[in-house]
């Protein structure tokens, strides 16, 4: 605290990201990064962008990231004018809160969801109400029909990994036309159905994507929003009142290359999905209850073992998983899907920790 702080700083509750350990060789299953590298074309594109002498870095990047927007628009069969890009989808979401979600009624999002949402709501002074997930941790879209200033949910949801079918999302869109519906599809490529194909039909639908998860570019910070040009325009107005150049030259070049190598992307998703099923089976065999996941992580609890204690014991073995000290989920662990070798290291360590008590 300091008397120099602006009033709002006293009231913020900043998001706490998963630890980036300093261990030399951690088994890092705590922030949903992809265990596989990005397409080799990404490295080529970065080298090409830099040239021999990095002289290109003297100049500002394209403030509109036009080539990147065109590439990603083509990928999704939409127009560049329906694409917004930001410095990671977290920044995109921040602009969404400020540009599209501040209205007379509170916005609605799930009680258990991405914990950045309440953080942004406080930062931008947006009122919100949460709607409880059902007993099985599924989002109940029925609850979102009440008058609201906007609706926001991830699909698949985080940190549960559960996905909604597209038909349910479309049913909500058919009923709700007077406020913006934001679907955060950070994990959609690992097994859910994308709503991007619906943006032409629903001018109030905004779909948010990231290059951080399925495209292995968390370190580059590239995120997207797809929607009607008027929604994109609102985001650009906020962006151009904040930072004209949110994506540097290397990030734009890297993301273009990643979207151009579809075979690499598909192969990486396929491997992660196969490892997820294997990890889920391994955890179940150890006595965990595992929420069915359509993401690159699983959400699991063990009747006989306190989740926070398990996370601590794993950390001592240089294995990092995520524990949220929050109502309803403080006995769960969120475990990112690593390589099969990393998942095996986790399962071995858990077998050790749980010891003779299973069986
Ligand atoms: C990881 C994640 C994001 C943010 O990703 P960026 O790295 O900022 O692009 C957004 N939403 C959800 C639900 C996430 O899990």
Report whether 270 contacts 131 (CB < 8 A): no
Q: Which residues line ligand 1 (CB under 6 A)?
A: 32, 88-90, 114, 154, 158, 184, 186, 210, 212, 218, 223
Distance 90 CA to ligand 1 centre (A): 6
Predicted TM-score (pTM) above 0.85: yes
Distance 178 CA to ligand 1 centre (A): 26
Q: In tens digits, what is the pLDDT along the chain, a chain of 359 residues?
A: 889 999 999 989 898 888 888 877 899 999 999 999 999 999 999 999 999 999 999 999 999 999 999 999 999 999 999 999 999 999 999 999 999 998 999 999 999 999 999 999 999 999 999 999 999 999 999 999 889 999 999 999 999 999 999 999 999 999 877 899 999 999 999 999 999 999 999 999 999 999 999 999 999 999 999 999 999 999 999 999 999 999 999 999 999 999 999 999 999 999 999 999 999 999 999 999 999 999 999 999 999 999 999 999 999 999 999 999 999 999 999 999 999 999 999 999 999 999 855 44
> Strand pairing partners for 67?
none
Taking the CA of residue 93 as reference, the ligand 1 atom at the shortest distance is: 10
Distance 196 CA to ligand 1 centre (A): 17
What does the alpha-carbon distance between residue 291 and residue 285 come to, in Å, rounded to a whole number? Answer: 14
Ligand 1 pocket test target in 94, 114, 215 with most atoms within 8 Å of CB: 114
| 242-276: burial string, b at 16+ Cβ within 10 Å, e else | eeeebbbbbbbbbbbbbbbbeebbeebbebbbebb
Distance 85 CA to ligand 1 centre (A): 14
Residue nearest to atom 1 of ligand 1 (CA): 186
Ligand 1 pocket test target in 33, 95, 213 with most atoms within 8 Å of CB: 213
Q: At residue 183, what are phi and psi to the nearest 5 degrees?
A: -110, 115
Residue nearest to atom 11 of ligand 1 (CA): 186
Residue nearest to atom 14 of ligand 1 (CA): 186
Distance 209 CA to ligand 1 centre (A): 8
What end-to-end distance do the CA atoms of the chain give, in Å? 51
In order of their start, the domains of the chain are 7-38+263-354 (3.90.1150.10), 40-261 (3.40.640.10)
């Amino acid at each position: 605290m300091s008397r120099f702080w602006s009033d709002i700083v006293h009231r913020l509750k900043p998001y706490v990201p998963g630890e980036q350990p300093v261990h030399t060789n951690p088994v890092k299953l705590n922030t949903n990064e992809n265990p596989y590298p990005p397409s080799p074309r990404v490295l080529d594109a970065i080298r090409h962008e830099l040239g021999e002498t990095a002289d290109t870095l003297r100049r500002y990047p394209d403030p509109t990231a036009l080539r990147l927007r065109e590439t990603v628009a083509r990928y999704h069969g939409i127009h560049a004018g329906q694409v917004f890009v930001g410095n990671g989808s977290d920044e995109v979401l921040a602009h969404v809160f400020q540009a599209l979600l501040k209205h007379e009624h509170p916005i609605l999002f799930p009680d258990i969801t991405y914990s950045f949402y309440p953080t942004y709501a406080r930062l931008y002074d947006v009122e919100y109400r949460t709607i409880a997930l059902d007993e099985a941790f599924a989002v109940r879209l029925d609850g979102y029909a009440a008058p609201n200033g906007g609706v926001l949910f991830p699909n698949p949801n985080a940190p549960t990994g559960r996905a909604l079918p597209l038909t349910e999302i479309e049913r909500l869109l058919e009923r709700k036309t007077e406020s913006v519906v934001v679907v955060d599809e950070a994990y959609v490529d690992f097994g859910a159905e994308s709503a991007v194909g619906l943006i032409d039909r629903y001018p109030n639908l905004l779909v948010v994507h990231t290059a951080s998860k399925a495209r292995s570019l968390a370190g580059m910070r590239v995120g997207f929003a797809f929607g009607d040009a008027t929604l994109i325009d609102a985001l650009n107005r906020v962006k151009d009142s904040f930072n004209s150049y949110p994506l540097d030259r290397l990030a734009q070049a890297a993301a273009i290359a990643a979207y151009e190598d579809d075979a690499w992307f598909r192969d990486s998703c396929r491997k992660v999905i196969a490892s997820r099923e294997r990890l889920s089976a391994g955890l179940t065999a150890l006595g965990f209850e595992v929420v069915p996941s359509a993401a690159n992580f699983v959400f699991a609890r063990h009747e006989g073992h306190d989740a926070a204690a398990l996370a601590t014991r794993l950390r001592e073995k240089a294995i990092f998983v995520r524990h949220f000290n929050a109502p309803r989920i403080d006995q769960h662990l969120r475990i990112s899907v690593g390589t099969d070798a990393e998942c095996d290291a986790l399962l071995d360590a858990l077998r050790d920790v749980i010891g003779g008590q299973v069986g």
